[in-house]
Structure 1
Amino acid sequence: MSLARRSLMEAAAARFGWRRAYGTTTQVDALLTEQTETAYTAAADHAATAKNDDVLAVQPGVLDARGRILADVLYLEGVLTGARTRGLPSAVIERLEDVVDHGHELTMLLADAVRATATAHASSGH
């Protein structure tokens, strides 16, 4: 099935709150590879690097990324809570804990980057 068709089907399913689960690591690896390729293609298609011509031009994109990541991390905290409550295998819980911890660290680093843009702008005399 093509990526476009699968994406459309998954978007429609997500609208109804359905999610597809993959039962083998081969299926998971194929999906992860597709996600990676799609993300790199999208990154190559946008002109983010051309827009970053001054310190404040960086700020909105970093803020947007932080907001999306924070929302995802909070969702994953709920997934982790559910996994703990339902007694899922410790290896799954440990990986989810790692992801949530790393996600919170990433949001803090992004917040620091946003603050740095404001500090740099203020110190440049603007």
Structure 2
Amino acid sequence: MEPPLEATVPLPRRSLMDAAAARFGWRRAYGTTTQVDALLTEQSEAAYTDAADHAALATAKNTDALAVQPGVLDARGRILADVLYLEGVLTGARTRGLPSEVIERLEDVVDHGHELTVLLADAVRATATAHASSGN
């Protein structure tokens, strides 16, 4: 059996296809763990490829504690929005009676997402505290 188109299209092109589909309110679903694992691997590879560039840029830009703050605030905002979206997904999963394993995994994700937003808020506060204590 030939793999579906999604599994053979490179991630950047697939991302463009997904973005175009999203404009119409469509989302792609993957029916096998093989397809999901391939997509997860591609996402990870793309993220880690960019990580070295991010580290170099952050090292150059983040000269003091206060310089770190905007990036951490941005990340927290995006993560919080995603967690709240996932809370809606969880509510829908419960309402529709989806399998308990799906619901349990979504509960874990939502709980950990909220914990991450708390940790990020603490990191933002720490930047302000460090800045204030440095006498600036």
Whether 2:37 is the aligned partner of 1:22: answer: no
Q: CA RMSD in A?
A: 1.1
Residue aligned with 1:19, SS: coil
TM-score w.r.t. the length of structure 2 is 0.89
TM-score w.r.t. the length of structure 1 is 0.95
Displacement of 1:47? 5.1
Bigger shift: 86-95 or 50-59? 50-59
Displacement of 1:81? 0.2
Displacement of 1:53? 1.2
Displacement of 1:88? 0.2
Residue aligned with 1:43, SS: helix
Bigger shift: 81-90 or 4-13? 4-13
Question: Partner residue of 2:3?
Answer: none
Residue correspondences, number: 126
Cα-to-partner distance string for 1:5-40 (whole Å, 9 max, x where unaligned): 211111100111100000000000000001111111
Whether 2:112 is the aligned partner of 1:112: answer: no
Spell out structure 1 runs of 4+ moving beyond 3 A: none
Displacement of 1:50? 2.0
What CA distance in whole angstroms lies between the structure 2 residues aligned with 1:38 and 1:2? 11
What CA distance in whole angstroms lies between the structure 1 residues aligned with 2:71 and 2:12? 26
Identical-pair percentage:
90
Displacement of 1:44? 2.0
What CA distance in whole angstroms lies between the structure 2 residues aligned with 1:60 and 1:4? 27
What CA distance in whole angstroms lies between the structure 2 residues aligned with 1:47 and 1:22? 32
What CA distance in whole angstroms lies between the structure 2 residues aligned with 1:108 and 1:4? 32
Gaps of 5+ in 1: none
Question: Partner residue of 1:35?
Answer: 43
What CA distance in whole angstroms lies between the structure 2 residues aligned with 1:42 and 1:16? 29
Residue aligned with 1:76, SS: helix
What CA distance in whole angstroms lies between the structure 2 residues aligned with 1:110 and 1:46? 18
What CA distance in whole angstroms lies between the structure 2 residues aligned with 1:71 and 1:106? 12
Gaps of 5+ in 2: 1-8
